[in-house]
Structure 1
Amino acid sequence: MINQLRKIYSSVKVYKDGSDDLSIDYKWFTTDKNEIIGIRNDELTSKDISLLTTFLSPYNVQFPTPTEAEKNWRKIIFSAELMEEKDWKPSNSFRFVYFSFNKNQIEPVLFKDAIEALFDKQVPILWESEHEGFIIEQQMQEEESISYEQIIDILMSDLYVKINFFVGPYKKDIADITLHYNSLTNVAKRVFLYTNKSVVTYVEAIPFILTKQTEAELRLDISKTILQEYIHDAETIKMIETFLKCNLNLSETAKVLHLHRNSLQYRLERFFDKTGIDIRQFHDAMTVSLALIARK
């Protein structure tokens, strides 16, 4: 394979431990035989890198050495040929959990160690870059799992790392796994533009996904038509968003907003009188929720 790559990229070099430096002028990859190879950055386009990562693992001196499980996952996700052979498949239901944190907040090796300490076992991680990737969580019977909200709290308090998680749904088999992985990647990299939440599930992201599919002009028209004169009313928008977050619970919303319940009731009725939309009703609330997403 290395000789074939040299026909396309003249700068291909193989790293030999102790005899070479991992120059920053090169993009480094590992092969399925654990060889580390580099190609000069000026020979690569973003399209080249995307193609190479389908059969090579990105390598960085700060990245953990890929485990056998991680190599297998990368094969079944990115190699159609190996998927057909079905020479390896997960033994339990699994889900992909996207994570991202700010650049240079924590080294990948330390992050992986922290995650495995929290799960109390080895956890496959597929790195997209030095600050984002996917945790692959397998569902184990009779095992108490830690929530991703708890993980965030621990990482913040112990390592001062601010992190976001996008939690995918559990899958029982590897059918269409490449499509599923690519779909989650697309959604995960966009959903946090629309929400302040640090942990978002696939189910919660569906409205963002659907809204994103519409044209910008239509999104603008929806938000103006539904929100009407309140589209730029920050106080009313905050009230509605809080009411939706509190699952249409008047008492809980009033508590969060430090309002008397009757005052909140009056404001909701005023919104209904002005727009004809009663967000105390589920279907109206769902429509307004979509309009708020479109507004952003």
Structure 2
Amino acid sequence: MLKKIMSLYEDSVLFSEPPLHISNQFYIFNDQSEKEWLAIPKTKLTEKELNLLQVLYQQVNIPSKPLGKWYEFLMLNGPLPTTSTESNFRIIQFHIKGNEVVQDEIESALRGFFSDEVQYFWEDSHNGCVIEEKKQISLTESELGSISDTLESDFYVKVSFYIGKLYPYSNQLRNQFRQEKEYFQFAKNHLPGSNIVSFEKVFPPFVAANLPEHVKEKVYKDFSDVFLEDPELYGTIKVFLENNLNASMTAKKLYIHRNTLQYRIDKFIDKTGVQLKDFYGAFTVFLSCLLFQHDNLHK
């Protein structure tokens, strides 16, 4: 319901966790059944509307403090931050999964990995962002994976990152960031075990999950029986496709002999008649694997 209410008030913001701090120009309402918090600008509410919302939802008082220009721009529809250069920027989102999240310690650890010039902010107790200018970018996807492993071993929490694209310095950054937030949320819900996420990784399963039902059925029906009959075969084919049809890498990742891998691939081809070495065949099978994964994750 809060999502519908948000659509009625311009510049309102919906949170899936209680925000740590927020401008005192907002009223905050909590829907305990949905575990959501809605911030509505005070100037948008009449006294009658405020009274009604106070009856329907719990009004929450959250301490305010200077939030930073990037937080205000990206989260609260504030003005575009002033910078010394009109370069390109990317936003790396991070999510901390764990009950005991000591933000100061985790942020201090993150600052040890990134450039001193990058900007940080926390959205809530488990989610935050790192804003990098193009010239500040120094970490690769592999290095972010190593950082995730290090933080997990040091703080006993699981850390996942979404690596945003580079975008020009403009007001469009806010909408692009919100789209990337949607992709990251999808990954957290539907791609378990993926600690490093990017557009290229999340978009194929995102598309698969959002296909119309009649299209899903057409793609899925030729492979679902094979996957259900032999889940091990499904896992093998998916890893093989994810590793660019590289037999050595796939066998190593699955801890099996290359002959065993080849036997399973031949078995799949024999059952379906689809050649994986063909681009169109591989694409179709991979899409079916994503649909099978999504379907079985929510059973």
Q: Which amino acid letter does the alignment assign opposite residue 40 of structure 2?
A: L
Q: Give the Å deviation of 1:216.
A: 4.8
Selected match of 2:105 from 104, 110, 130: 110
Paired position in structure 1 for 2:256: 259
Q: Which amino acid letter does the alignment assign opposite residue 182 of structure 1?
A: R
Q: Give the Å deviation of 1:59.
A: 9.3
Paired position in structure 1 for 2:5: none
> Alpha carbons of 1:75 and 1:27: their partners in 2 closer, same or farther (altered >3 Å)?
closer
After superposition, the C-alpha distances for 1:152-199 in whole angstroms (9 at most, x for unaligned) are: 122122222211111111112224222211111111111132342211
Paired position in structure 2 for 1:236: 233
Give me the TM-score of the superposition, normalised by structure 2. Answer: 0.70
Counterpart CA distance in 1 for 2:36 and 2:254 is 49
The 5 Å alignment of 1:79-90 reads: 82-83=79-80
Paired position in structure 1 for 2:116: 121
> Alpha carbons of 1:226 and 1:174: their partners in 2 closer, same or farther (altered >3 Å)?
farther
Gaps of 5+ in 2: 1-17, 45-59, 295-299
SS class of match (1:82): coil
> Alpha carbons of 1:221 and 1:194: their partners in 2 closer, same or farther (altered >3 Å)?
farther
SS class of match (2:135): coil
- Is 1:51 the counterpart of 2:40? The answer is yes
Paired position in structure 2 for 1:151: 147
The 5 Å alignment of 1:1-296 reads: 29-31=21-23, 49-52=38-41, 66=66, 71-78=68-75, 82-83=79-80, 91-140=86-135, 144-145=138-139, 147-192=143-188, 193-216=190-213, 218-219=215-216, 221-295=218-292, 296=294
Counterpart CA distance in 2 for 1:255 and 1:40 is 51
> Alpha carbons of 1:77 and 1:36: their partners in 2 closer, same or farther (altered >3 Å)?
closer
Counterpart CA distance in 2 for 1:177 and 1:27 is 21
Indicate the structure (1 or 2) with the bigger Cα radius of gyration: 1
Q: Give the Å deviation of 1:130.
A: 0.6
Contact between 2:22 and 2:62, CA under 8 Å: does it hold in 1? no
Q: Which amino acid letter does the alignment assign opposite residue 180 of structure 1?
A: Q
Q: Give the Å deviation of 1:89.
A: 7.4
Give me the TM-score of the superposition, normalised by structure 1. Answer: 0.71
Q: Which amino acid letter does the alignment assign opposite residue 282 of structure 2?
A: A
Across the aligned residues of Structure 1 and Structure 2, the Cα RMSD in angstroms comes to: 3.7
Aligned length: 256
SS class of match (2:38): helix
> Alpha carbons of 1:108 and 1:122: their partners in 2 closer, same or farther (altered >3 Å)?
farther
Q: Which amino acid letter does the alignment assign opposite residue 119 of structure 1?
A: F
Gaps of 5+ in 1: 1-25
